[in-house]
A and B are shown apart, each in its own frame.
Chain A
Amino acid sequence: MSASVSVADLDDRTRAALRRHLLALADSKRLLGLRYSDWLLGAPSIETGIAASSMAQDEWGHARLLYAMLKDFDEDPSAVEHDRPREAYANVPVLDTPFSDWAGFVVAAVVVDGALSVALEGFAEGRYESARARVPKMLSEEAFHRDLGLAWLKRLANGTDEARARIREAARFALPATLAWLAPDDDAHAALVEAHLTAPAGALLQRFRDRVGGALEAAGIEIPAPDTREWDAARGRGPGAPEQEVVERARGDLNRALLVE
């Protein structure tokens, strides 16, 4: 295994790219956790609701660990977690709005959580020492998220015509922008690859296909090309931003309003 590197070892271009990557991962985890938590009481069964709740807690824990890596940049993670406007969020775009229905949840568990896992695998296999130390535990927890998503995807695909139509519609909505987020075709990602901090875009996309492509295909869903229109290189995602309401929840605005100085 190649020697690990710290932020201090990186040039300015690579440091900026690494910071963008951290925010893309952490913001996605935080919002995915919120979207999962929306289904604690609305899932198809009590057991599924408990699983959604547990997955939400996992995602929030992972987000906290990823934000904490900003300390490597001599940056206060608390300010990043609690003070940014919605336009600064670098999350997977499909998380900007709530899941349309249970099919939206299932597709997110397969596509968005799947893309996040592939991104984290590339990160953990790279040379950044904090990722090497902290990401493997996250990935062990993620395995059950994928299993839940794939099991439900198969269930819905073998269900009614309406169920099949809904998962296909949710996948059409989720896949193109998620794939662009996973494998940015831009200078920042190139900087990360050159410094061996993550895998090349093509390798990440191939790994995603290997991981969930068969299950999606069995459900009648083809993996499209990434949608790179209106690419926002500053954030590493497509256009748009999460709804104000979800950002307030992500920041914990209401909780902080109760704090007495």
Chain B
Amino acid sequence: MRETVFDVFARKERGEPLTHIGYVDAMDAELARVYAWKTYDEQNWFEMCIVPRAQIIPVNRTDGPFAANALESSLTGTGGAA
């Protein structure tokens, strides 16, 4: 059973910035949205979204959870990674 990592973002109020609150492993997006809601339902969220981790492109870092998706340009230093 191959699973994908989906990062979970949410906000409590309209107008607040979306905050990264965690992640879930799931076989597809349909299951991921249910898992996300059921895993992080301790808050009364106004909005929750999920993003496949493989789709998140780091802008200024070449380390961390999104490093595998770094573009060539960030690896050559245009992003100013520390």
Mark A residues whose CB is within 8 Å of B: 44-48, 50-51, 54-55, 144, 147-148, 150-152, 154-155
Contact = CB atoms under 8 A, between A and B. Distances in A.
B16 interface: no
B26 interface: yes
Contacts of B41: 54
B39 interface: yes
Contact of B30 (A46, A50, A55, A147): A147
Q: Which 4 A-B pairs have the closest CB atoms?
A: A47-B35, A151-B30, A51-B38, A54-B38
Interface in B1-46: 1, 3, 24-28, 30-31, 33-35, 37-39, 41
A141 to B, nearest CB: 9
Given A44-B1, A48-B35, A151-B31, 11 more contacts: A45-B25, A45-B26, A46-B25, A50-B38, A51-B34, A51-B38, A54-B39, A54-B41, A148-B38, A151-B28, A152-B31
Interface string B31-74: 10111011101000000000000000000000000000000000
A47 B26 contact: yes
B31 A148 contact: yes
Interface of B: 1, 3, 24-28, 30-31, 33-35, 37-39, 41
A144 B39 CA distance: 12
B1 A144 contact: no
A192 to B, nearest CB: 33
